[in-house]
Amino acid sequence: MFHKEGAKIILASVFITVVIILLTDFFIPIDWLKKTIQVIAAAFLIIVLQFFRNPKRNVDDIKDHTILAPVDGKVVVIEEVYEPEYFKDKRLMVSIFMSPVNVHVTRYALNGIIKYSKYHPGKYLVAWHPKASEENERTTVVIDNPVFGEVMYRQIAGALAKRIVNYAKEGHRAIQGEDAGFIKFGSRVDLYLPIGTKVNVVLNQKAKGNKTVISFK
């Protein structure tokens, strides 16, 4: 299954790959060179397809007292930070970095009412850069959960990402595990939890969207 945000890119990639294969087959008489170009074209198509894959990840048991990983990737930050945009106080940040080979679908990490949703244009620093969460293109979403209170997540573009898609709308209900957006080509997602929240993951742990438990009460 592929994510709808990749439909145009996938169709274009299939068309380009087919054209390259046909042209090389017709115009290039050197067998090894022809096959090399065709293999490279096919490899490009496979990379595009794997990037936009959207594996079905049903939440086993939706619970208000559980926060799940919103994306696939590696936990790169667990620390207290000052959050200046919405809370304007300290929060516990858990950051998950996505490499190009990870699934890039963003899913709602918890249930609740969407209190805030805002897009910020910005730079394209590498996603692990310390200033990426404040200077890169990003979206900020706050969900009011009956157990944890207000929890923020932030989609952050990386050096390769050129578009963030965010489906969260203020006043709507977020349902844990449902599709919340997509980040095209690279990036990370930061979760901002209340100070004192017990975290169920460790640094460098691989997280799996809708499956890895970030915190529970």
Catalytic residue list: 187
Rounded Cα gap, residues 85 and 122, in angstroms? 15
Q: Return the amino acid letter for 152.
A: M
The gap between the terminal CA atoms of the chain, to the nearest Å, is 33
CA dihedral for 19, 51, 177, 85, sign (positive or negative):
negative
- Residues linked to residue 215 through DSSP beta bridges, in sequence order: 67
Neighbours of 93 (CB within 10 A): 19
Pairing of strands 179-184, 105-107: antiparallel
How far is C-alpha 50 from the geometric centre of its chain's CA atoms?
Answer: 14
